[in-house]
Amino acid sequence: MADLAHGARRGTTHLRWWIIGVCFLGTAVNYIDRQALSVSAPTICEQFKFSNDDYSSIVRSFLLAYTVMQFVSGMIMDRIGVRWGMALFAGWWSLSGMLHALGRGLWSFRAYRFMLGMGEAGNWPAATKAVSEWFPARERAMAVAIFDSGSGIGGMLAAPLVAWLIWHYGWQVAFIVTGSLALLWVGLWLAIYYPPASHPRVSAGELEEIRALREGEEAPPAAAGSWLELLARRPVWGVILGRSLSDCVWWFYVYWLPKYLADQRGFSLAQIAALAWIPFLTCDIGNIAGGWLSGHLMRRGWSLDAARKWVLLLGVIGMLAGVPAGLTSDAHLCIALISVATLAYGGWGTIMLTLPADLFPSGQTGTVSGLSGTGAGLGGFVFTWVIGIVVDRVSYTPIFLAAGLLPLMALLLVQLLIPKVRMVEPS
């Protein structure tokens, strides 16, 4: 780490945990904005006579931009820094979210969704890079778990909040209110986030603590290198392919669960608001549990590799619950099984988001995280396209089957391409 101790000073105690708390809030706002469409989908699709394939094309517009900008945003974070990079992307997604209120047909919703995907893509590379700058390996998974759990909290809050706004004011107001939240968050972010060595409120004691915890853990400094050079490394592909075959499962639950409950289970908007938040809560529990378990195992003497891989294995086993979820005739059992699957995904996702910081020095973390996010977005784009076609022509059952089995393939590829989790030696 660059010159962490530059003079004695007094500051905020445990500042790095306050910073990750702000990242958590940003992720929650990100998902509230994202879920505004999912919750309002039954209303909007009915008003504009959208088919499942039409709705799928709107979601794909988001994922197309999200896929490309994950890669671009990661490089931007490595070049201009997390502080201003995150502010730039959050401001963009805020304005894009509010523009949804002007939607008047299929093409306008596709355009506004594309713009939202451009902005929201920056959150995860930025937060992962912040973790790599502020946290040592044994705290890193928990830090990632905390900020990533904002996705579950955001999804959980979105269902009742957006439904209430639709009931009282209409779906247009729902987009304006949720979209404005990110602008408020940007002010908080700029007030609290700086790199460790230049932070005006970090204490000398915390700087020394971070440096002591990180001694000997990183590979010798290396040039950042181009993204093409990074793609020549097998561990990068392990993270990319692992996320592309597992994050698409999460996209399915995020974007299609409210519509599935309305179309196949006959749920009203009130019932969706009452129950659709539960899988997001269990995902958050999985985030925290996965981060805690990995750190706990390392404190008990497990290697970094074993601690990370064990949590990944448990996650894959739990995501198999998606298979019977699509087969049961009991709607409440279906939601319970989906909740088990998202609980397991939460633990899996925490480790997958942590791996770029485990494998590469902080100067490359943003780019690697962005590349893996691009893989995740591409997987989600293809899977969403398939969902729209299969649901219109067959049913949801094959989709639930795929949602249970794809993570198994993801784990096999991770093990093949990352046989041991450790800092990659510079080329």
pLDDT of residue 132: 82
The answer to whether residues 20 and 140 touch, using CB atoms and an 8 Å cutoff, is: no
Within 13 A of 427's CA, how many CA atoms are on the CB side? 11
What percent of the chain is modeled with pLDDT above 70? Answer: 92
pLDDT of residue 212: 66
pLDDT of residue 6: 42
Q: What are phi and psi of 292, to 5 degrees?
A: -65, -45
pLDDT of residue 214: 60
Q: Is 190 exposed, middle or buried (0-12, 13-18, 19+ CB in 10 A)?
A: middle
> Hey, what are 324's tokens?
């019977």
Of 23, 32, 64, 27, nearest to 179 by C-alpha is: 32
Q: Give residue-wise pLDDT tens across range 100-130.
A: 999 999 999 999 999 999 999 999 889 988 9
Distance (Å, rounded) from C-alpha 316 to C-alpha 285?
16
Of 34, 155, 160, 159, nearest to 97 by C-alpha is: 34
Chain Cα centroid distance, residue 312: 16
Helices (H), 100-233: 106-120, 123-134, 137-169, 171-192, 204-214, 227-231
Distance (Å, rounded) from C-alpha 34 to C-alpha 120?
8
The answer to whether residues 279 and 335 touch, using CB atoms and an 8 Å cutoff, is: yes
Q: Give residue-wise pLDDT tens across range 269-281.
A: 788 878 888 898 8
> Hey, what are 293's tokens?
């378990």
388 versus 340: the higher-pLDDT residue is 340
pLDDT band, very low/low/confident/very high, at 222 (cuts 50, 70, 90):
very low
Q: Which letter does DSSP use for residue 12 in this model? A: B
Rounded average pLDDT over 15-28: 93
pLDDT of residue 228: 76
Maximum CA pair distance of the chain?
A: 67
Least reliable range by pLDDT among 182-196, 236-250, 354-368, 401-415: 354-368
The answer to whether residues 81 and 196 touch, using CB atoms and an 8 Å cutoff, is: no
Of 192, 199, 215, nearest to 7 by C-alpha is: 199
pLDDT at 243 over 60: yes
Averaged pLDDT score across all residues of the chain:
87
Distance (Å, rounded) from C-alpha 127 to C-alpha 86?
8
Residue ranges of domains in the chain, CATH in brackets: 15-216+226-417 (1.20.1250.20)
Distance (Å, rounded) from C-alpha 179 to C-alpha 181?
6
Q: Is 13 exposed, middle or buried (0-12, 13-18, 19+ CB in 10 A)?
A: exposed
